[in-house]
Amino acid sequence: MDRDAPHRVLNVLDRAAGRRADTFLAMRFPSWSRSTFAKWIREGVVQSDSRTLKPASVLRLGEVVRIWAPGIAPTEGPPPPPNVVFEDDWLLAVDKPAGMLVHPVGQRFAWALIGLVREMRPGLRIDLSHRLDRETSGVVLLTKHEDANRAMKDAFQARRVQKTYQAIVRGVVPWDTHSINASLGHAAGSEVQLRRGADEAGESALTEVTVLRRLARHTLVECRPHTGRTHQIRVHLEIAGYPILGDKLYGQPDATFLSLLDGGLTPALRSAIGFPRHALHAQALAFPHPHSGQVVKVRAPLPVDMQTIVDGAEPNWTELADTPEVEAEDDDAG
């Protein structure tokens, strides 16, 4: 096996440690049987960095397993690594590009941020503190060891982390600032199960929105969520009457999203959606450092696709996506 060929890397964590290699891999990738994994292990298509792996080998915590199997492994090399915007002995923050998964989902391979960062910093226990969905760009905070990860997850849970987003919305917003206080639940009457909407009996949610720049047909706004509800910013901007440019779910009838799932992108759908992704960017995080307690502020510049519109260009669909990615990967607010 050519070890330099594109392959998938699995770091053995608590849920895998102590299990047979072929058994765990078949559980992790259920489209392939245990006997198939046993065959691949014997053939060297699945290998361990630390020893000769056998189907019955008991996986060890921290062990690195590499898979070259078709369908699980990538078919091409990795994308460029994300830009680092902050780093010290405890933390690492990167600027995630739009279109990149934060963590692998499903069984088929897709390059994900967590794997790329682990390749950038081998030998460290790199873990996510929070997540952004695939289409959202911007700051993602990762940790370098367990104590840091525990502290940062506690900080996010306790809402000691201030999140700032920038979005390009449809229409010219007339007000300068607006507080959107609307509880959220499943969108009443929607055929799309994951769609959220205003619901008096739902979870309380508050977003502060400030206009940054008015354009000919759009507006650049800053959003500060004070709560962390699923799709909060996207739903609140829809409720305010100014949905995010490129959003396939909010600011669109259910039929748009369902047609995209069923038949892929058509010229009519592309025209209705207007942009390849929802124009939402996680611009900054401010949080207490897990070691010193001092407030750290981390920022990522507006990406080129959004900055071009802010500079006066009309939205341009430069690449096509066949269907939206539906994943349980969203950051709470975005």
Q: What per-residue confidence (pLDDT) applies to 7?
A: 83
| Average pLDDT of the chain to the nearest whole number | 90
Residue-level pLDDT at 178: 97
**What is the pLDDT at residue 2?**
78
Give the pLDDT confidence score for residue 326 in this predicted structure. Answer: 46
- Is position 133 annotated as part of the catalytic site? yes
Express each pLDDT in 103-144 by its tens digit.
876 556 667 899 899 989 998 999 999 999 999 999 999 999
If you compute the radius of gyration of the chain from its CA atoms, what whole number of angstroms results?
A: 21
User: Is the pLDDT higher at 14 or at 142?
Assistant: 142
DSSP secondary structure of 127-141: EESS---SS-EEEEE
- What pLDDT shows up at residue 70? 84
- Above 90 in pLDDT, residue 9? no
Look at residue 330 and tell me if it is in a domain.
no
What is the mean predicted confidence (pLDDT) over 89-100?
96
Within a domain: residue 35?
yes
Sequence-distant (6+) residues with CB within 8 A of 155 are: 161, 287, 288, 290
* Structural domain includes residue 18: yes
pLDDT of residue 89: 97
Q: Taking residues 38-61, what's their average pLDDT?
A: 95
Higher pLDDT, 233 or 29: 233
Q: Looking at residue 192, what is its pLDDT?
A: 93
Is the CB of residue 220 less than 8 Å from the CB of residue 168?
Answer: yes
Range of the domain at 19: 8-67
pLDDT at 325 over 60: no
Q: Is the pLDDT of residue 14 over 90?
A: no
pLDDT at residue 3 in the model: 77
pLDDT in tens, 240-272: 999 999 999 999 999 999 998 888 888 888 999
Q: How far apart are CA 153 and CA 150, in angstroms?
A: 5
CATH number of the domain within which 31 lies:
3.10.290.10
Q: Are 234 and 278 in contact (CB under 8 A)?
A: yes
Report yes or no on 275 lying in a domain.
Answer: no
Q: Is residue 52 included in any domain, yes or no?
A: yes
Q: Is residue 45 part of a domain?
A: yes
More confident residue, 167 or 75: 167
Give the pLDDT score at 334. 61
With respect to residue 274, please indicate whether it lies within any of the assigned structural domains.
no
Residue 101 placed within a domain: no
Contact 231, 330 (CB under 8 A): yes
**pLDDT tens by residue, 154-175:** 999 999 999 999 999 999 999 9
Total structural domains within the chain: 1
**Per-residue model confidence (pLDDT) at position 37:** 94
Enumerate residues 6+ apart whose C-beta is below 8 A from 153: 129, 130
DSSP-based helix, strand, coil % in the chain, nearest 5: 20, 25, 50
Asked if residues 289 and 151 have their Cβ atoms less than 8 Å apart, the reply is: no
Write down the catalytic residue from 22, 127, 133, 247. 133
Q: Is residue 162 a contact partner of residue 224, using CB atoms and an 8 Å limit?
A: yes
Compute the distance between CA of residue 3 and CA of residue 67 in angstroms, rounded to an integer: 10
